[in-house]
Amino acid sequence: MRVLIDADGCPVVNFTTKHAVIIGGNITIDGGMSKLMAYHGDCGWRLEL
């Protein structure tokens, strides 16, 4: 598993800018944190900036 990079989110952003109306949709771009739910210090995972 890896963290989202800019190029991963670009297709979603392009899709939303090309369509005037999106009805009933939830688009989540969070870099995988809602699936992984790993935070700094959990299970040896570290945030390095």
- Which residues, in sequence order, are CB contacts of 36 under 8 Å at separation 6+? 1
Token digits for 36? Answer: 């992984």
Classified as helix, coil or strand, 26 is: coil
Q: In the predicted model, is pLDDT for residue 12 greater than 70?
A: yes
pLDDT at 26: 82
Q: Which amino acid belongs to residue 34? A: S
Q: In the predicted model, is pLDDT for residue 11 greater than 80?
A: yes
Rounded mean pLDDT of 7-11?
A: 83
Separation of alpha carbons 39 and 47, rounded Å: 8
